[in-house]
Amino acid sequence: MSVYFLTGCAGFIASNVAEMLLEAGHSVYGIDDRNNAYSVLLKDWRLKQLSRFENFHFQEVDITDRIALENFFQEALTRECLAHFDACIHLAARAGVRYSVENPWIYLDTNVTGTLNLLELCRHSGTQKFVAASSSSVYGNSSAEIFHEDQRTDFPCSPYAASKKAAEALIFSYHHLYGIDVSVLRFFTVYGPAGRPDMSILRFIHAIAEEKPITLYGDGTQERDFTYCRDIASGVLASLRPVGYETFNLGGDHTYSVNQLIEIVANILGKKPLIKQYPPHRADVARTHADISNAREKLGWKPCWDFRAGIAETIRWYLENRDWFSAEMKD
C-alpha cells in the first residue's frame, strides 16, 4: 500500500479524498491549519470522521510555515522509514472568490507561497508525484461554450483566481526544472454533504429549510458546472498515475442555472423559497462548463452522480446535522 502526504485534510474535498484513500488501505499523513475562514466546528467534524482509521495521521500545520511544514514532512517519512512519499496531494488553499477581493494578501501567501514550500519539500525528498488543486476560476469570464484546458487563462476576475493561476505557473516550473510528475486539477463548483457553508448550495438549503430569505446576486440565470464531492475525490485518486505534466478539468459535465438549483432544493424540501435579489458581484463569472474529455481519455474518469440525487444527499446530511450546523451558517 502507498503512503501519501495530503494538505488541507480538514477541508471539504481533501477530507473526501482522505477517506477514499484510507478505505483502500493506504496511509495518509494529513495537515490543515484549521483556520476560521469558515466554521472550525465543521472542519473538526470532518477530521473526526477520518480519525476512525488507524492509518490516518494528522498534524495541525499551516503550509505557509515552512519550518513546521518541513518538520512534519520529515517526521512522517522517518516514521514510515521512507525517503519520499508516493505522492504529495496538495489540496489546501484559501478558497472563495468574493472574500479574496477584501483580503488578497492571505490568498497569495497560502495559494502561492504555500505551494512553493511543498514543491521544495518534494524536490529535496525525491517525492516525484505532485497533485495540485486548481480551479475553474482561472478561466475568468470566458465566452467559450465549454472550457477546455488549452484555452487562455490570462484574465482572472478575482485575486483568488489570480493566485491559482500563479500557483499553476510555479508548479510547471518545478516540473520543467526537476522532472516532478504533475497533475493539475481544475475543480468546478463542488458540493455535497459537509460542504463549505459559504457555497451556494448549502446556503440555499439552509435558507429554504429554515424559511429564511436567500441572498441572490444577479438574476439567477448564471450557470455553474456543479460536481458532487465523491466524483471529485475519485478524480483526484485517478490523477495519481504518472502523466508527465497534465492539466485536467474535473466537472459534472452538465450546467445548471442558479434558478434551477433553487427550484430543485425547494422541491425536495417541499418549501417555497424567499429570495432577496442583489446586483451581480463583480468577482463572479457568468458561466462555467467543463470539457472533461482529457480526464476521461487519460485518467479513465467521469462523474457518476446525478445532480438531483447529489442535492438530495446533501439535504439529507443537512437535516441530520441541522442542530449544530445551522448555527454555523451566516445568513
Q: Give, as one character, the DSSP assignment of residue 110.
A: I
What contacts 331, CB < 8 A, 6 or more positions away?
A: 207, 212, 215
- Give the residue among 242, 252, 237, 234 at the shortest CA–CA distance from 291: 252
**318 labelled catalytic:** no
- 232 vs 105, 133, 185, 199, CA distance in Å? 28, 11, 10, 16
Q: Which amino acid is at 316?
A: R
Of the candidates 4, 99, 160, 191, the residue annotated as catalytic is: 160
- Give the residue among 161, 188, 300, 292 at the shortest CA–CA distance from 243: 300
CA atoms of 183 and 170, how far apart (whole Å):
13
Q: Which amino acid is at 104?
A: P
Query: Phi and psi dihedrals of 181, rounded to 5?
Result: -80, 125
Q: Give, as one character, the DSSP assignment of residue 60.
A: E
- Give the residue among 217, 186, 190 at the shortest CA–CA distance from 282: 217
For 149-152, the CB contacts below 8 A with 24+ separation are 149/186, 149/247, 149/248, 149/249, 149/291, 149/294
Beta bridge partners of 31: 7, 59
Q: Give the residue numbers marked as catalytic.
A: 160
